[in-house]
């Protein structure tokens, strides 16, 4: 019989585990362990019957043990592993005990099926659904595109020199584009090289093949433009490698262009090509890096400090949890598959039915997480879309910060910490006492930050932006 197990970015681990379980369950050593477990169970019930006279229990255990062995271990099956996040790790494994294959297959199908049912009725594009691309994928790549830099060191240096000597100089002289034009432009590179032609007189140092030469701003802009496409291609390839591993240059580039294009279109109503949008972000970052902007505090100390610290705390925890909770779920899922041989030995003992129920319950619990993930993914994506309405379909120097900062979205990621406890309590029949724990977890960051800032304000000990390096103390 064939059984399909659905995973999300853990297909490689699942394949290794299933192959190991198939080898273990077919070995003579494991058969000896089963014999020892049955003998131990018999001795256990023998002593119990001798002291309590409960002979019926022994007969019931023998029948249960035979049924479990004949139904869960003897029949073998073929497992088809389907990795939704990394199709390259799809695999087929033979000779897997039917007890593991059956329950792993049905629980994974039910969990993913319910999550898919939710997402089918959500308004998100399929490329942004949790089951297709993973947790928070669309919002994350839209945000991450605003952080990209030119990857080749020599190209980055040439761009930096060009911006300092040509672009910032033009801004200082005020004889071409204004700072407002630069900040509001949806295609800065076109603005500074085509709309306003670069100078044929001003020069900047340009590196090529390990040597440096002086070129005019006009010629230098042409040289940079000639290599711009290679830079964006390299970014897409490295980006894909970071997210999925095993990149093929062409497919990695096309995959990222497609996914980023869909995400930009849905979240920002952007019609601009994904490569052009990425180039725009990298040029903006290059200008900021060259100008070395150090914005001063514009709000009152207490308001800005508390809001910024709370946001950064939720961001650090939320974004970290968004990644690690998905990985943790995958690892726990694989562990539950891996311990099947050991659990089967426990099944052969008088407590086998209780242990069996516990193992199946754990499978159901771990497969219930994707339902919550799908809902949180919707919240995160819709909030990101809402926060980017003001972007008006383009990334500019004026709105790039709004692409990065999404407070409710970070909170949604932070909520993922509640998923294991919440689903466990719901499966057990209600949240009960877990409500107080969840409330404390969700309000702790904001109240802690407010208390800290209030203490600083009342004592007058206000501190922000302090740096400390290589401090030493000697007796």
**pLDDT of amino acid 172:** 81
Reported as a pLDDT band with limits 50, 70 and 90, residue 97 is: very high
Residue 294 has pLDDT above 50, yes or no: no
Backbone angle region of 372, left / alpha / beta, with phi > 0 → left and psi within -120 to 50 → alpha: alpha
Residue 453 has pLDDT above 50, yes or no: no
Question: Which candidate, 30, 37, 69, places its Cα nearest to that of 345?
Answer: 37
**pLDDT of amino acid 202:** 87
Token pair of 315 as six digits: 């961001």
Question: Which candidate, 270, 318, 335, 354, places its Cα nearest to that of 441?
Answer: 318
Q: Please state, for a pLDDT cut of 70, what percent of the chain lies above it.
A: 75
The three-point CA angle 424-428-434 to 5° equals: 60
Question: Which candidate, 440, 464, 442, places its Cα nearest to that of 453?
Answer: 464
Residue 108 has pLDDT above 80, yes or no: yes
The three-point CA angle 360-435-442 to 5° equals: 105
Lowest mean pLDDT among 219-228, 268-277, 416-425: 416-425
Residue 341 has pLDDT above 60, yes or no: yes
**pLDDT of amino acid 301:** 37
Mean pLDDT in residue range 256-261:
89
Q: How many residues does the chain have?
A: 475
Q: How far apart are CA 310 and CA 318, in angstroms?
A: 12
Q: How far apart are CA 189 and CA 140, in angstroms?
A: 25
159-192 pLDDT per residue, tens: 999 998 888 888 888 778 888 888 888 899 999 9
Report the chain's mean pLDDT, rounded to a whole number.
78
Question: What's the whole-model pTM score?
Answer: 0.67
């Amino acid at each position: 019989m064939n059984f399909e197990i659905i995973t999300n970015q853990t297909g490689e681990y699942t394949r290794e585990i299933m192959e190991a379980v198939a080898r273990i369950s077919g070995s003579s050593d494991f058969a000896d362990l089963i014999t020892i477990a049955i003998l131990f169970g018999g001795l256990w019930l023998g002593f119990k019957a001798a002291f309590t006279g409960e002979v019926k229990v022994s007969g019931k255990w023998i029948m249960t043990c035979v049924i479990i062995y004949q139904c869960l271990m003897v029949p073998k099956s073929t497992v088809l592993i389907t990795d939704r996040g990394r199709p390259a790790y799809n695999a087929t494994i033979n000779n897997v005990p039917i007890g593991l294959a059956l329950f792993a297959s049905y629980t994974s199908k039910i969990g993913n099926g319910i999550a898919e049912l939710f997402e089918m009725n959500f308004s998100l594009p399929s490329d942004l659904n949790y089951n297709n691309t993973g947790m928070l994928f669309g919002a994350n790549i839209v945000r991450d595109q605003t952080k990209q830099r030119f990857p080749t060191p020599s190209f980055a240096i040439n761009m930096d020199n060009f911006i300092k000597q040509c672009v910032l100089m033009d801004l200082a002289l005020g004889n071409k584009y204004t700072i407002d034009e630069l900040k509001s432009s949806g295609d800065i590179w076109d603005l500074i090289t085509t709309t306003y032609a670069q100078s044929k007189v001003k020069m900047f140092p340009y590196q090529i093949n390990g040597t440096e030469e002086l070129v005019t701003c006009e010629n230098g802009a042409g040289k940079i433009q000639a290599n711009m496409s290679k830079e964006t291609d390299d970014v897409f390839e490295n980006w894909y490698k970071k997210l999925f591993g095993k990149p093929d240059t062409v497919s990695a580039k096309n995959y990222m262009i497609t996914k980023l294009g869909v995400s930009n279109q849905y979240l920002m109503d952007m019609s601009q090509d994904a490569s052009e949008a990425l180039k725009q972000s990298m040029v903006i970052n290059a200008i900021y890096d060259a100008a070395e902007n150090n914005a001063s505090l514009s709000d009152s100390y207490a308001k800005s400090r508390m809001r910024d610290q709370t946001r950064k705390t939720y961001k650090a925890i939320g974004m970290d949890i968004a990644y690690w909770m998905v990985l943790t779920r995958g690892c726990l899922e694989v562990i539950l598959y891996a311990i099947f041989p050991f659990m089967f030995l426990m099944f052969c003992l008088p407590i086998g039915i209780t242990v069996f129920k516990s193992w199946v319950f754990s499978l159901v619990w771990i497969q219930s997480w994707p339902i919550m993930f799908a809902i949180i993914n919707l919240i995160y994506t819709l909030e990101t879309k809402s926060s980017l309405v003001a972007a008006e379909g383009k990334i500019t120097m004026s709105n790039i910060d709004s692409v990065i900062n999404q407070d409710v979205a970070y909170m949604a990621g932070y909520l993922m910490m509640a998923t294991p406890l919440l689903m466990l309590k719901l499966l057990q029949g209600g949240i009960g006492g877990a409500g107080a724990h969840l409330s404390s977890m969700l309000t702790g960051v904001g109240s802690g930050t407010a208390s800290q800032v209030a203490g600083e304000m009342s004592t007058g000990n206000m501190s922000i932006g302090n740096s400390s390096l290589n401090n030493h103390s000697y007796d």
